[in-house]
Amino acid sequence: MNNKFVELLKKVQSYYDFFKNDEFIVKDSYPILFFGNYERYFSSKLKIITVGINPSGKEFYEKGQRKLKRFSKINSFVSLEYLEVLKKYFDIESRDPYSFWFDNFEKVLNGIKSSYYNKKEYPYTALHTDLFTPLATDPTWSYLSEETQQRLIEQGIPLWHELIKILKPNIIICSFAERYLDEIQFKIKEKWTKFYTIKKTKDGQDRKKLYIIKKAEININGSSLYVFWGNQRDMPFGNISDENKIDIGKLIAKEVGDMENKLCFVQFIHPGVEPTPDRDGYISWNRNDHKRKFIKLKGSYVDEKGSKVEDKELIFWGEWEPQSEAIKINNPKKDEQHPMYIYEPYYNLAEINNKSNSGGCEGNGYQNTDPFVFGDRFIYSICKQRSKRGPTQIRYLEKGSVILFGSRLNNKFVVDTVFVVGNYIDYKCTEDGLEELKDNLIKRYSLSENYIEKYFEISLYRFMDSLKSGNEKDKNYRLYIGATYEDKHECMFSYFPCQPYKKDTQGFVRPNVNLKGKITQELKQGIKLPSCNNIDEVRKYWNKVTRQIINKGLNLGIISIHKEGAHYGCIDEKGHSQAVFGAQ
């Protein structure tokens, strides 16, 4: 037991000692801080807590019997013995859980692939808690006097809040009278809203009164999580069918994302068309479909011998949606694969701040740049992480996964960015969520504040603006941080195929890559997400792709820190490419 748990159990002991002789406390009962296997709970990827009001007297005695039924006698609650009894509550072989009551919550949990019980088909383990008091009462709660209720909750509610801080759940599911929601005293980031409405009764008739599930987002210990609520009628989620309860669980799973992280080697198709300048020497911030530009910037690269070359002007294919200076290539090769222009990126917010922004990732708003390869680290944070049905698997990639960003041109898959997942942060696409994400990137990952601010202006704030209509607002996403040449992941790093800039260049064709079983040349749009058994398999494919790219006479463009401490491949807001965002 950690110190916080010990201190909480001491408070539970004192709370019990204070009330144990009152006539409304079930005789010979004791406090039930929680129900369920806390060890399996803490090892679950998705941690779920269900919440009622207070334990039933039936946990100790059946009506007309005075024999302890489900809990053996305990001498001290500040003990492993006490925790062991709570842990084994849903162990059917040695206990007889009050399933008539708990199975109502269990159906909802099953929809989220969770259970109170140790069932192989459900990978997540849930615990049950009680908001008002861990003590069983006789009479039941609704028949207690208001004065007695107030005495119990005055100390009981703080115990519950302290317990939840220790348990650190990802999801809380409540079922009790709606008026009791005000007793949840954690900071509410987003108010209670309708989540799901049930219009039919158990027998398929129209309901006279709709059954509504509500949700809110709260903050505990600096972390955000969802709380879901449905009314109780004798039982949790009373008066709705088991099918409805399972459906509620499935919808909760979609809302929070219950996919397991997977180690994948991803083929990611994005638009590959080169844009056309608005006028001679200039292209404005893109408001149409995403495009690929042939870009010139200072940076560093790794050559065919594996040596790092620094402080060079590079040319490469990539996404840059803000403004650019456009330089027409002399005697360009007039095919669909060679570039017609060289673009020197910059951005100017003044040009767009006074104009309306509408549409989503593929709409008519000012487009975001994703992936982003211009600074301290490569970043990928938005595109294709959600569909109309909810989160996609690319929202749940394991560290070490590789994403090949590319396009289908001339019936071939061509690559512009090889992204190795070095780390990630889950975030919510709201104003508060983005500020929290920004703080994490600067403090936890030591990314320069200047770089992060510019990244947000160019990418995430643009995406946020496009969501003001509400079509995807408030959804969860994952920001992936690319492994770098200096900070490799299992010998792999992120890069873009490039060449040193030479005057009168005609550019180069984006490299076609082949990997039997992992990459298809037929994919025109979307994502191919083959999983890998281990990191060695991923590294094998990364090596094959990298070798194919080098064999085509290309180098591996990287974003690295210059020996004087400058960051290369960055953009000046005023309108010119420059080497430095700022030294760290």
Render pLDDT for 518-549 as a digit per residue (tens, 0 to 9). Answer: 899 999 888 998 889 999 999 999 999 999 99
Residue of 420 and 390 predicted with greater confidence: 420
One domain, residues 182 and 299: no
pLDDT reported for residue 509: 96
Render pLDDT for 226-249 as a digit per residue (tens, 0 to 9). Answer: 899 999 988 999 889 999 999 999
Any domain includes 227: yes
**Mean pLDDT, rounded, for 198-210:** 89
One domain, residues 209 and 317: no
Any domain includes 290: yes
DSSP class per residue in 147-172 = HHHHHHHHHHHHHHHHHHHHH--SEE
Residue 566 has pLDDT above 70, yes or no: no
Any domain includes 29: no
DSSP class per residue in 280-324 = TTBB----SS---EEEEEEEEEE-TTS-EEEEEEEEEEE---S-E
One domain, residues 494 and 432: yes
One domain, residues 238 and 325: no
pLDDT reported for residue 433: 85
Any domain includes 406: yes
One domain, residues 214 and 247: yes
Query: Which of 234, 256, 278 marks a domain boundary?
Result: 256
Q: For residues 34 and 38, give the distance between their C-alpha atoms in angstroms, rounded to a whole number.
A: 9
**Mean pLDDT, rounded, for 411-438:** 92
Query: Which of 238, 256, 274 marks a domain boundary?
Result: 256
Q: For residues 42 and 19, give the distance between their C-alpha atoms in angstroms, rounded to a whole number.
A: 31
pLDDT band for 258, please (50, 70, 90 cuts): low
Range of the domain at 215: 34-73+83-133+160-256
One domain, residues 465 and 554: yes
Token pair 């929601």 is found at 181
Residue 215 has pLDDT above 90, yes or no: yes
One domain, residues 277 and 230: no
pLDDT reported for residue 146: 95
Residue 70 has pLDDT above 70, yes or no: no
Structure tokens that stand for 421 in this block? 């997942």
Neighbours of 297 (CB within 10 A): 26
One domain, residues 252 and 270: no
pLDDT reported for residue 221: 76
**Mean pLDDT, rounded, for 356-362:** 43
One domain, residues 119 and 249: yes
Number of compact structural domains in the chain: 2
Any domain includes 11: no
Neighbours of 132 (CB within 10 A): 21
Residue 74 has pLDDT above 90, yes or no: no
Calculate what percentage of the chain has a pLDDT beyond 70.
Answer: 88
Render pLDDT for 463-505 as a digit per residue (tens, 0 to 9). Answer: 877 665 444 445 789 999 999 999 999 999 999 999 999 998 9
pLDDT band for 68, please (50, 70, 90 cuts): low
Query: Which of 225, 256, 287 marks a domain boundary?
Result: 256
- Mean pLDDT taken over the chain: 86
pLDDT band for 334, please (50, 70, 90 cuts): confident
**Mean pLDDT, rounded, for 306-326:** 92
pLDDT reported for residue 81: 87
One domain, residues 184 and 284: no
Any domain includes 150: no
Any domain includes 3: no
One domain, residues 464 and 525: yes
Residue of 554 and 46 predicted with greater confidence: 554
Structure tokens that stand for 194 in this block? 């309708």
Residues 500-515 as b/e (b if ≥16 CB within 10 A, e otherwise) read eeeeebebbbbbbbeb
pLDDT band for 573, please (50, 70, 90 cuts): very low
